[in-house]
Structure formats: structure tokens, C-alpha cells
Amino acid sequence: MTKSADLRQKDVAALQTEVKSLQKAHFNMRMQKATQQLNNTAQLRLTRRAVARAKTILAEKQAAN
């Protein structure tokens, strides 16, 4: 997963693409879970938290400008 130190080094545009890719990955995992194809359900929790982490850092950077 993405560490917050790595996210803080990115600019706003890179953070926005990171959030989109994490949300897409989370959506795909939710669909896999619904169709009984997801083996590691704990991965859902990790991606949800990664999305929240990226959104928080993005909001901090946007507020700073």
C-alpha cells in the first residue's frame, strides 16, 4: 500500500490520479467479494483506508494553496 510519506511528496494532480486508481481498485475488490471471488477480504479494509489517507493529504494540499 501507499505510505503517507510517499503521498506527501506528490503534487495535487498526482494525488488526484492516485485517489482515482485506489477507488477503482476498491470498487473492483467489492465486485469480486460480491461474486465470491475475493480470497483476502482484509484487503478491502486496507484499500478503503488508503483512499481515505490519499484524500486527506489531497485536501491538506488544496487547503494550503
Count of Cβ atoms closer than 10 Å to residue 40 Cβ: 9
pLDDT number for residue 2 = 62
pTM value > 0.75: yes
Query: How many domains are contained in the chain?
Result: 1
Closest to 44 in 3D by CA, of 53, 32, 56: 32
Question: Mind listing the pLDDT tens digit for each residue in 1-54?
Answer: 568 899 999 999 999 999 999 999 999 999 999 999 999 999 999 999 999 999
Q: What is the pLDDT of residue 1?
A: 58
Residue 65's pLDDT band (cuts 50, 70, 90): confident
**CATH code of the domain covering residue 40:** 1.10.287
DSSP 41-64: THHHHHHHHHHHHHHHHHHHHHHH
Residue 40 Rama label (left phi>0; alpha psi -120 to 50; beta): beta
Domain containing 47 equals 4-64
